[in-house]
Amino acid sequence: MENPIVGQCPEGTAAYDYRMYDRIWQRVSPDLDPYPDIRAASTQSPAAPPPASAAPAPKLETPAVPVAVEPPAAPPAPDSAGIAAESQLPGAEMNPCCMGTQARESLQVLEGFIEEELAGRRCCLSLCRRVHNAHIVRLLRRIANDKQCAARDMCTAYYLITGQCYTPAISVEQMQWDSLAAALRSCYHQEACNGFNYARAADGTADLCLQKLFTKLSQQAYKRADEVMCALGQVLC
């Protein structure tokens, strides 16, 4: 008997439809289960194709962490010992080592000396107009010039100490002498007293520069006193 169904099935095909055979066998023997192995293999569903490869997950970028920039290193603190040593150098501090704070204690003495020298200068110039002795006139003029230089030096020292110019008081003295000898005697005591006062002021100040100035003026005053004494001796004898 020719089986028309077999010719319709592709050769070598394992997946064959046995439903027609099942209807035949149902009529012949309903309890019979022909070809259980083949039927079980044909009823299995084909294996599911492997899932398509998933698209690569997007690469998560790690947020950039800000890099902390270290501030520039601070310059090393100056050594306190070095600062103390530099402050001891002459001229390195606001209070100089000479004509500074220590000299301020002698400002009133300095002002008195300036006024005294300028008053003595006016006295000598006034006496020159009354004396007819040429030698004594020259001596008095030189003493007047020395006193002006002494006052100028002390005004300079005053400016170095205070930073301000000293303005001396201007006064006109009425000086009268009974004789030339009396006038020279007055000049001598003035110069000798100035020499003594300058020496005492030099000993009383702690400022080295002011001490040197007072010492120089003391020596000059004593020298002028000796010259006046010699001139007085010539007048008296």
Enter the pTM of the model.
Answer: 0.59
pLDDT class of 14 with cuts at 50, 70, 90: very low
- pLDDT above 70: percentage of residues in the chain: 58
Q: What is the pLDDT of residues 17-34, one digit of tens each?
A: 666 666 776 676 666 666
| Model pLDDT for residues 126-175, shown as the tens digit of each residue | 888 888 889 999 999 999 999 999 999 999 999 999 999 998 887 766 66
Report how far apart, in Å, the C-alpha atoms of 8 and of each of 12, 13, 151 are.
12, 11, 150
